[in-house]
């Protein structure tokens, strides 16, 4: 596996680390448990990192020196792909011929390294886009920076070169065909999973678990708590939740004494240009007293936040799937989300939460007002959410991915045999 711009060892919610990190870690663990050894190549971000780290039995992370360890923005990484590819090839040279059977690249930067590696080794390339420039550019947040033309060109090249493309949802598969002219026969749909051992309701039940989680986090027991969890950048639209909170308090001033809005995560991507913008927005809206900014937390602590929340709010402009939505639901917490990308698959509208067309804060405020006023309805949604999330297990995702690998290898090797006889 190749993950150039973000390490699977990084904590999600910091820097560029997010759902893709969780995806790579969990998928690799489950593949290894099913008998597929995995090596993950990623860029070294500090000089103190060891060359290799065992992530789990059968999963090895290799750190590749490519560019300065720190201070390198994602937008600057294309200039380091040659150095990264060189590091991958050096590791390959230490092995016997045929050591690697397949390359699985994640995100377009990794796809270019994977394209070269797969060609050099004579093995198939499986690629997961995770996000697509054309899709993101079609739904930009106000003031956000469009993805560059170089990325669009790069993604188009990878789509043509890959033996298989893994899409999270049918909509993503359609986007690959529509925007990038992908061969439909090469596109496989594999829903990501959720770690159901970590993200689950408390054994004592949803309400008792919620109160225990709130006590552990120092949160008020009886408050209405709409939670944002993720990277703080325009794409994720945490500002929509803050504007909705201000409208909610205009409509129901008495709620101010019984409302808490945690924002869990750190600035990332284009959000780094104004890292304190959200705090300043809360102050301008006059809601600083009800908003709590929390630095990124580890996965176990994140599960506690999900159990403590009344509802998770995801007003994103684009989501390839929205793992956070499934993780929250697995903890028994309903989700209010924008009806974009994979979120209509992750969330069952009216059953496990609500999907909202667009990003008008007034629409989010109306739904939040209803949930605050009807705790029984919120509890019903939470119970349905926990049941729904149980269908998203990583074991089934890994098994489906292994089938994609098998199909790619079956198609690739006859081609290689034919070329050997030319």
Binding-site residues for 1D-myo-inositol 3-phosphate sit at 5, 16-21, 74, 107, 131, 151
Answer for the pair 261, 225: CB distance below 8 angstroms, yes or no.
yes
Pair type for strands 59-64 and 52-56: antiparallel
- Binding residues for UDP-N-acetyl-alpha-D-glucosamine, by number, are 11-12, 19, 231, 236, 297, 319, 327
CA dist 188 and 407 (Å) reads 10
CA dist 162 and 321 (Å) reads 21
- Binding residues, by number, are 5, 11-12, 16-21, 74, 107, 131, 151, 231, 236, 297, 306-307, 309, 319, 327, 333
Look at the alpha carbons of 27, 32, 37, 39 in this order and tell me if their dihedral is positive or negative.
positive
Helix, strand counts (H, E) of the chain: 15, 14
Residue 405's SS3 state is helix
Residue 328's SS3 state is helix
- Binding residues for Mg(2+), by number, are 306-307, 309, 333
DSSP string for 251-304: H-GGGGGGB-EEEE--B-GGGGGSTTHHHHHHHHHT-TTTEEEE----HHHHHH
DSSP string for 47-110: TT--SEEEEETTEEEEEE--S-SSS--GGGGGGGHHHHHHHHHHHHHTS-TT----EEEEHHHH
Region of 8 (left: φ > 0; alpha: ψ -120 to 50; beta: rest) is: alpha
| Cβ burial 127-164 (10 Å sphere, 16+ → b, else e) | bbbbbbbbbbbeebbeebeebeeebbebbbebbebbbb
């Amino acid at each position: 596996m190749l993950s150039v711009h973000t390490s699977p060892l990084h904590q999600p919610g910091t820097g560029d680390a997010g759902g893709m990190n969780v995806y790579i870690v969990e998928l690799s663990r489950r593949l290894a448990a099913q008998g597929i050894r995995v090596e993950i190549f990623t860029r070294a971000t500090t000089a103190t990192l060891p060359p290799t780290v065992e992530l789990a039995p059968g999963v090895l992370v290799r750190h590749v020196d490519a560019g300065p360890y720190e201070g390198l923005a994602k937008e600057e990484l294309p200039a380091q792909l040659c150095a990264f590819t060189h590091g991958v090839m050096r590791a390959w040279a230490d092995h016997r011929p045929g050591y690697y059977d397949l390359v699985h690249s994640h995100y377009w930067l990794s796809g270019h390294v994977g394209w070269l590696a797969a060609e050099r080794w004579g093995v198939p390339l499986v690629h997961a886009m995770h996000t697509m420039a054309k899709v993101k550019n079609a739904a930009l947040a106000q003031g956000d920076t469009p993805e560059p033309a170089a990325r669009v060109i790069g993604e188009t090249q990878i789509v043509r070169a890959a033996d298989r493309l893994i899409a999270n949802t049918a909509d993503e598969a359609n986007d690959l065909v529509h925007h990038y002219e992908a061969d439909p026969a090469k596109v496989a749909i594999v829903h990501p999973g959720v770690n159901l051992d970590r993200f689950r309701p408390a054994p004592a039940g949803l309400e008792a678990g919620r109160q225990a989680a709130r006590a552990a986090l120092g949160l008020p027991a009886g408050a209405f708590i709409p939670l944002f969890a993720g990277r703080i950048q325009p794409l994720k639209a945490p500002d929509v939740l803050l504007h909705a909170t201000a409208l909610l308090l205009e409509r129901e001033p008495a709620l101010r004494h019984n409302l808490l809005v945690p924002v869990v995560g750190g600035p990332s991507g284009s959000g780094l240009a104004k890292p304190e913008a959200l705090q300043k927005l809360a102050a301008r809206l006059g809601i600083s007293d009800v908003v709590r900014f929390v630095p990124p937390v580890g996965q176990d602590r994140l599960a506690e936040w999900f159990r403590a929340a009344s509802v998770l709010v995801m007003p994103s402009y684009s989501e390839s799937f929205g793992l956070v939505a499934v993780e929250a639901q697995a903890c028994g917490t309903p989700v209010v989300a924008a009806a974009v990308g994979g979120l209509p698959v992750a969330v069952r509208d009216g059953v496990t939460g609500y999907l909202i067309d667009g990003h008008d804060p007034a629409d989010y405020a109306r739904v939040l007002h209803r949930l605050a006023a009807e705790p029984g309805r919120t509890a019903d949604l939470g119970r349905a959410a926990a049941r729904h999330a149980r269908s998203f297990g990583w074991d089934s995702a890994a098994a489906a991915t292994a089938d994609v690998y098998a199909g790619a290898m079956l198609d690739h090797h006859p081609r290689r045999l034919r070329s050997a006889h030319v």
